[in-house]
Amino acid sequence: MTSPASPAESEHLEQTADGGPASRPTVGAPTPDAVEAVGQAAVLQRALINRGEMVGTKYVFEQTLDSHAPISPEYLAVVREVYAEPHPAGPESSSSFENALGALRPAGSVLVINRPLNCGRTILAYALLARLLDDEVINEARPLSFGGSQHFPTRRLPHDHRCGYLLELPPDEDDFSVADEFGSSLRTISERLHRRNCRLIVLTRPEQWRRISQGAPEGVAPELGSVRPRDVAERWLLAQQPDLVVDQWLDHEDIKPLLLGQSPTDVLSLVYLILEQHRSAQVTTATETDDPEKALKQARTGSASLTFEEQVANVVAARSNWEDALYSWHEPERGSRTSFERNFLLAAAVLRGDPVGHVYAKAAELTEKLDKIDVDVDGQREPGVIAMTRAVGARREGDGALAFSRPHWDDAAIEYFWNDRPLARNTFLDWLAQAPVDTSTSKEALETINKDVRRALAARIGQFALRWAVRHRRQEPLEQIVKAWYKHGTDKELWPLAVELLDNASIHAASAPYIHTMLLGWAGRKEPSLQRAVVEVCTGTFGRRHTSKALRRLRNVAAQGHPDVIDTLREAVCVLWEDTTVRRMLFGYVVEWCGAEKTSQTVGHRTFAALAMNSPSRAEGLPPLLAAVTEASSDDEDTFRPGVRGLVTGWRTLLRQAAGPAGERELDTAVFTWLDAALKLSALKPVVFDTLRQAVNVHGAEGPAFRETLRTCAEWWLQGPGRPYSEQKEDLKRELSASLDKDLIARRHQSPAAAPSGAAGDETRPTNGVDVA
């Protein structure tokens, strides 16, 4: 969609970006390593490499998931290198990519990419932005956050010039959905983009677009065709391994069926299997040529150079998780495998990279758990490490770790067990979650499992649990990990890894839909470990990218009122408050918690106090609620001015703290902070006085107690310990006291029917968490 511009206007727009057209550094072709890092992160289950170091994931997340930072030109260069354009429908059809690019060139253009998840819609958007950047149509590309409202306010668009923006619409969920009027609002958005010579790409899904597209400009969401899986594989392979004979691989009769109808993520999985086999063969061939002794060892261990057909066979087998080969191993024609042998293979698959002595001890522990068999590994009754290593077809590396020559044999072994032994899954998950917690079994082997190794092990186990949870839509693997690592201690190294795992998964396209649903379920559970995980994820990148979703999950957690989670919930409220678009909804929830009897003196009290006072890191300045009052302006769609009715409900929860424990209370600090603000800024005095007066203006026993409590706090504010006296403070305190007396006298002339409620402020309780004006 475009807005017309005269040549003079266009020339003016070109010159208004900071005084003239800005220059940007030229970015050359990306290195194969950069391409591989992006690809590894795109295939979530392949992101953990190098003993758990999340190399690829870090690269992509740092470049694309910060809603405030520009999209890295280096990242866009990778996209440009690997992107495969949609294939034309017929020989006379023009390129849908070029047509979309042409539609984005005029200032103010908006393009809607209307596609399901995991079909290449995001990389298409990045490819378009990369071309606009290369052609100097834009100087910068940025992601935009939709915010917490159902409407996308036009003023949320930054004031930058010559920018290309990417906006992903949040999926509809429960009581939240993007407004039906979004399509019609694109005209207004386009006009604002045009004034700054910017462009916008919107990502949505077919079912959502059908609902919100009414009134959208014609042609804003064109049909963009589809990309052939073979083209995707070819571009990624050549970008990472230029010397690879791609046609030989992709046109092989056994490989072609693996590409048919596959999603981009599945294609990338196949790409990395091919690359692993190709590179492994290159290394083996070089070793055989340069070092005869190592070549002899490779032959002895079964890792000698493979023919091309053998490499293809390995890729095909790995794609089917080696099920046939694993069956032959588990059920040999002669003899049978012992449970210790089976469990050693399983332990080696899970603990890959750990010293073999540690794997040996953990295999014995797993056997005892699964089979109730006492395995004596301290003496020589059981087969030793060498026998067990050869039994499972592994080899010992120089650092004492085990390695398998078949690609993804370890992952396939875990999957085989999971499918083959369904009744043993819970016991296995319990052992799995405890593996990085208790590493004492390695002491007898005189091997040290230090903190870094334990973190790496935890990262691998977490990735396995995530992969299984997402693939099979079962939360048990992640639930077991969260519970075990929470019990280990939230101040220790494993808990942050669990939170980071969930946070990253909640914003990754391959896992986000399931993780969002799982977090919503956990928010209603009474398990403190699950609730805390939800709150911390809502405070992280998930909360910044999907703020409205985070708010609903926090609301469900708060409804439980669990004491172990309240402080974390308080921190989450402060973090989310920084997003101006969610303040109305967030404040409504806080007021709702304050007005509900079940949560008033727990979650309500703590979260309202967090917004009514300054945090320790922000000792100076106004507290968040009063700052919002001063920031509000009538011409800004994002600003929100907390209403006195909602403030009164919150203040009554603080006033009830008078009967609490001795010592400094949050009530005292809040009163001091608000009176200080009224003293410094005269514009705030009406809000402060109206709020405090109405908070204590109730009938019944609470009325006198509230007024006396407020008067006492005000007296301490005037001349308490560490608070010097001043005449200005005396005048303000006297004015507040006179106002309270005036309200008290007015009550004597007020009929009981017209009197305010003496309960928790029924007349101030919000409707659906938002009526707080």
> What secondary structure does DSSP assign to 96-132, as a single string?
HHHHHHHHHSSTT-EEEEE--TTSSHHHHHHHHHHHH
> Is the pLDDT higher at 768 or at 34?
34
What is d(CA 10, CA 194) in angstroms, rounded to the nearest whole number?
9
Tens-digit pLDDT profile for residues 209-257: 999 999 999 999 998 888 899 999 999 999 999 989 999 999 999 999 9
Q: In sequence order, which residues have a C-beta less than 8 Å from that of residue 702 and are 6 or more positions away?
A: 656, 758
The per-residue pLDDT for 761 is 38
The per-residue pLDDT for 196 is 93
The per-residue pLDDT for 760 is 38
The per-residue pLDDT for 65 is 42
The per-residue pLDDT for 61 is 36
What is d(CA 79, CA 236) in angstroms, rounded to the nearest whole number?
10
Record the tokens describing residue 166, joined without a space.
């990417």
Bridging pattern class, strands 110-114 and 402-404: unpaired
What is d(CA 278, CA 274) in angstroms, rounded to the nearest whole number?
6
> Is the pLDDT higher at 469 or at 88?
469
The per-residue pLDDT for 757 is 47
The string over 224-236, giving b where at least 16 C-beta atoms fall within 10 Å of a residue's C-beta and e elsewhere, is bbebebbbbbbbb
What is d(CA 446, CA 444) in angstroms, rounded to the nearest whole number?
5
Tell me the mean pLDDT in the region 572-586.
85
Q: How many helices (H) and strands (E) does the chain have?
A: 36, 6
What is d(CA 505, CA 202) in angstroms, rounded to the nearest whole number?
22
3-state SS assignment for residue 725: coil
Tens-digit pLDDT profile for residues 481-530: 999 999 999 888 899 999 999 998 998 877 888 999 999 999 999 899 99
Record the tokens describing residue 75, joined without a space.
């990242």
**Average model confidence (pLDDT) for the chain?**
82
The per-residue pLDDT for 8 is 37
Record the tokens describing residue 95, joined without a space.
């390129």
Amino acid at 606: R
The per-residue pLDDT for 700 is 82
Helix, strand, coil in percent for the chain, rounding step 5: 60, 5, 35
Model confidence at 638, in pLDDT bands (50, 70, 90)?
low
Residue 170 has pLDDT above 90, yes or no: no
> Is the pLDDT higher at 296 or at 52?
296
Strands across the sheet containing 199-204: 110-114, 199-204, 163-168, 140-144
Other CB atoms within a 10 A radius of the CB of residue 663 amount to 6
> Is the pLDDT higher at 7 or at 503?
503
> Is the pLDDT higher at 85 or at 756?
85
Of the chain, the percentage scoring pLDDT greater than 70 comes to: 81
The per-residue pLDDT for 292 is 57
